[in-house]
Structure 1
Amino acid sequence: MRFLKLLIFVLLIAGAIAGSLWWFKKPPEVQTVMPTTGRAAEVVYATAVVEPVRWAKVTSIIRERIVSLCGCEGDQVQKGDQLAELDSGDARATLAELEARQELAQSDKERALQLLERRVVSQQVYDKAQNELIRINAITAAQKERLRDYVIVAPMDGMVLRADGSVGEVAEPGEILFWIGQPSPLQLVAEVNEEDIPKVAKGHKALIRADAFPGKELTAEVASITPKGDPVLKNYRVYLDLPEDTPLRIGMTAEINIVTSEKDDALLLPTAAFDGSKLLTLDGDNKIVLLEVETGIKGTRATEVLKGITGDNRVVFPYNPDLAEGQKVRPVPGDGK
């Protein structure tokens, strides 16, 4: 009886060891996908802002208190219409003083002329009086011109898209008080990385994703690319025309994918299945075969394969660098995402 119990115990230990060896030596499990045929598209991603094609930012060039505003946000204005007025009290007082000095200089010149004709004073005295009048005239004219800076006018015909500032506030030089432009047509102004800009060309279509219109298909078309990029931010400005019926509004932000190349009926595999141009495939015995392939259009999700595989190949997905050539694996279907 004791011998029988010992034999059973030994057999159990041997079975456990054999099971453990089998477990540790069994082929690893891998997901596989097969190439599909479909549309391949290469895109360039960028962020963009909606702006009018024609518009202007209106600022003050002096620091002064606002005394009146037009209250015309949303209204149409003509070039030269008054939008705001700044406190010009000190400037007008200066002008009044200059005009008084101008009258005095005019009187001094006339008196010097009379004395010169009577040979009481020299030509030098008359010239001095005349030069003083010319100087005062120039200063007075400059002050009159400076008074125009206290009245802010529309630089173009258009709609007042936005008005900032309030009466009593101090307008700072360069601070935008009004946005004026044509409400249509609209455009997208995008910033494209310098590495991607060589792929972008006029006429390329762009797909738009805007938070204000989730799930809605919106498009634009590349109209122009600024010739000079920003060496600090390392990007280029790209302008895209929006269709007349676009629901996007001025000032909205959007994410865009500019389609730089596309092809129908392309042989596709998930991009995650690639390591550069390498793929891991399975032969008939479920052993790993490393393949070098030629790729075409590379998208964010799928990549086109030009040469190296057929539609019947089973491809490991995602690519696993721990697998070796000739290694036995256990394949399971993948979802290809």
Structure 2
Amino acid sequence: MKFLSKYKNKIIIGLLIFIALFIAFKQVQAQKSKDPTVLNPKKDIVVTPVVQNIKSELTLAGSVSASEIANLRFQNSGKLVWIGVKIGDRVKKWQSIASLDKAQLQKSLQTQFNNYRTNLSQFWDTQDKYKDTVVTDTVQRILDRTQYSLDNNVISYEISDMAIKEATLYSPIAGVVTNIDQPLTGTNITPATASFTIINPESVFFKSEIDQAEVTKIYIGQKATIRIDAFPDASYDSEITYISFIPVAGQTSTVYEIRFKLPVDNKNLSYRLGMDGDALITLEQQDNVLVIPLDALNDDNGKTYVWVKNNNDLVKTYVSTGIENESEIQILEGLNSNDSVVIKKI
């Protein structure tokens, strides 16, 4: 205790000096770690440029759709007397789907025919009446009126005949019935209340949307790979078949519809509308080029540089770059395969 009392002040001064030196040492070390020209073995990563293949890819989310979708409606209102299909049925091209009651339509057609015969008789009576007279303006107007009346009767008859033909719906495509608004016969319908939807499962394609900043990078016929979430172990070689000229309506940003071929046999309906997936488009590709990690790049007012290790020093080296993807970038000039590139982790 006497020893501590005797040298107490010296011990305190010594401790304060030690603490000051320790703090100063730490500050120097911290300054060195912040100096980008100094290698920090604990944080920095040293990599070597490698010669390999690199490609830039664009991944777009999308879903399965179909190009042949027929929404069928009657042209006229009437009583629904026959439905020849149900949801899930397969139909052939031009197969009859449903029909309205034709009895009233046929009576209307007969009435129009009778009106036509009556007007035709009146037409010839008028012609006979004025055939030996001088055709004045008044006579000519009478003759014209009878001709117009006869023409209207012909048009009315043709309309009634069209109504009978349109009383039966036919499918313009082969496909599967996916919707029937009114499945019960004996009900009176209008064109808006009785529609039938038929989709051709062999016409499926993959649909996606692409941002305006990227649409200029693609073109029709460009190769792509399609993956469907429902079939995680399968991928399909595809190509772009359609790029919309106008943007998709209702989106918060400007995007365009893009379509891809889906080369599948869909007779068993494995690929259904709305199935989600991704389209992978290769934008650029180079083989046997110099590549480094993207994290190694740094920016200096628009100029790109990397840190190259030279003994214990780091040299700021400007480079020219090419293709890049999410993790790597091609080096065109400034490096070789023997350089040691440092990724700074500050």
What TM-score results when the alignment is normalised by the length of structure 2? 0.70
Q: Go from structure 1 to structure 2 and tell me whether the alpha carbon gap of 1:113 and 1:65 turns closer, same or farther (over 3 Å shift).
A: closer
Q: Which residue of 2 aligns with 1:16?
A: 19
Q: Go from structure 1 to structure 2 and tell me whether the alpha carbon gap of 1:197 and 1:3 turns closer, same or farther (over 3 Å shift).
A: same
Q: Which residue of 1 aligns with 2:290?
A: 267
State the 1:164 CA deviation. Answer: 4.3
In structure 2, runs of 5+ residues without a counterpart are 35-39
State the 1:285 CA deviation. Answer: 5.5
Q: Go from structure 1 to structure 2 and tell me whether the alpha carbon gap of 1:162 and 1:207 turns closer, same or farther (over 3 Å shift).
A: same
Tell whether the 8 Å contact from 1:36 to 1:269 is kept in structure 2 after alignment: yes
Q: Which residue of 2 aligns with 1:180?
A: 199
Give the number of aligned pairs: 312
State the 1:46 CA deviation. Answer: 2.5
Matching residue within 316, 325, 333 for 2:343: 316
State the 1:149 CA deviation. Answer: 4.5
Q: Helix, strand or coil for the counterpart of 2:246? A: coil
Q: For 1:135, give the aligned amino acid.
A: N
Q: Which of the two has higher C-alpha Rg?
A: 2
Q: Helix, strand or coil for the counterpart of 2:116? A: helix
What TM-score results when the alignment is normalised by the length of structure 1? 0.72
Q: Go from structure 1 to structure 2 and tell me whether the alpha carbon gap of 1:308 and 1:112 turns closer, same or farther (over 3 Å shift).
A: same
1:210-229 counterparts in 2 under 5 A? 210-214=228-232, 216-226=233-243, 229=245
Q: Which residue of 2 aligns with 1:132?
A: 149
Q: Which residue of 2 aligns with 1:41?
A: 55
State the 1:296 CA deviation. Answer: 1.8
| Aligned-partner Cα distance in 2 for 1:3–1:59 | 109
Q: Which residue of 2 aligns with 1:253?
A: 276
| Aligned-partner Cα distance in 2 for 1:209–1:286 | 48
Q: Which residue of 2 aligns with 1:331?
A: none
In structure 1, runs of 5+ residues without a counterpart are 321-337
| Aligned-partner Cα distance in 2 for 1:259–1:148 | 52
Q: Which residue of 2 aligns with 1:155?
A: 172
Q: For 1:270, give the aligned amino acid.
A: P
Q: For 1:316, give the aligned amino acid.
A: I
Q: Helix, strand or coil for the counterpart of 1:145? A: helix
| Aligned-partner Cα distance in 1 for 2:261–2:122 | 65
State the 1:41 CA deviation. Answer: 1.1
Q: For 1:10, give the aligned amino acid.
A: I
Q: Which residue of 2 aligns with 1:297?
A: 323
Q: Deviation per CA, 1:279-311: give whole Å up to 9, x if none.
A: 442534655433321212211222222222234
Q: Which residue of 2 aligns with 1:196?
A: 214
Q: Which residue of 2 aligns with 1:240?
A: 260
Matching residue within 46, 70, 88 for 1:57: 70
| Aligned-partner Cα distance in 1 for 2:161–2:319 | 76
| Aligned-partner Cα distance in 2 for 1:57–1:317 | 60
Q: Go from structure 1 to structure 2 and tell me whether the alpha carbon gap of 1:313 and 1:304 turns closer, same or farther (over 3 Å shift).
A: same
| Aligned-partner Cα distance in 1 for 2:291–2:139 | 99
State the 1:176 CA deviation. Answer: 7.2
| Aligned-partner Cα distance in 2 for 1:96–1:141 | 11
Do residues 82 (structure 1) and 100 (structure 2) align?
Answer: no
State the 1:64 CA deviation. Answer: 5.2
Q: Go from structure 1 to structure 2 and tell me whether the alpha carbon gap of 1:94 and 1:251 turns closer, same or farther (over 3 Å shift).
A: farther
Q: Which residue of 2 aligns with 1:71?
A: 85
Q: Go from structure 1 to structure 2 and tell me whether the alpha carbon gap of 1:11 and 1:45 turns closer, same or farther (over 3 Å shift).
A: same
Tell whether the 8 Å contact from 2:96 to 2:170 is kept in structure 1 after alignment: yes
Q: Deviation per CA, 1:99-130: give whole Å up to 9, x if none.
A: 554354334335445655798x9675454233
| Aligned-partner Cα distance in 2 for 1:94–1:14 | 116
Tell whether the 8 Å contact from 2:69 to 2:199 is kept in structure 1 after alignment: yes
| Aligned-partner Cα distance in 2 for 1:221–1:86 | 44
| Aligned-partner Cα distance in 1 for 2:16–2:106 | 108
Identity of aligned residues (%): 19
Tell whether the 8 Å contact from 2:223 to 2:281 is kept in structure 1 after alignment: yes
Tell whether the 8 Å contact from 1:185 to 1:244 is kept in structure 2 after alignment: no
Q: Go from structure 1 to structure 2 and tell me whether the alpha carbon gap of 1:185 and 1:149 turns closer, same or farther (over 3 Å shift).
A: closer
Greater mean alpha carbon deviation, residues 142-151 or residues 255-264: 142-151
| Aligned-partner Cα distance in 1 for 2:78–2:327 | 56
Tell whether the 8 Å contact from 1:283 to 1:289 is kept in structure 2 after alignment: yes
1:71-110 counterparts in 2 under 5 A? 71-85=85-99, 98-99=112-113, 101-110=115-124
| Aligned-partner Cα distance in 1 for 2:212–2:239 | 16
Q: Go from structure 1 to structure 2 and tell me whether the alpha carbon gap of 1:245 and 1:60 turns closer, same or farther (over 3 Å shift).
A: closer
Q: For 1:314, give the aligned amino acid.
A: V
Q: For 1:13, give the aligned amino acid.
A: L
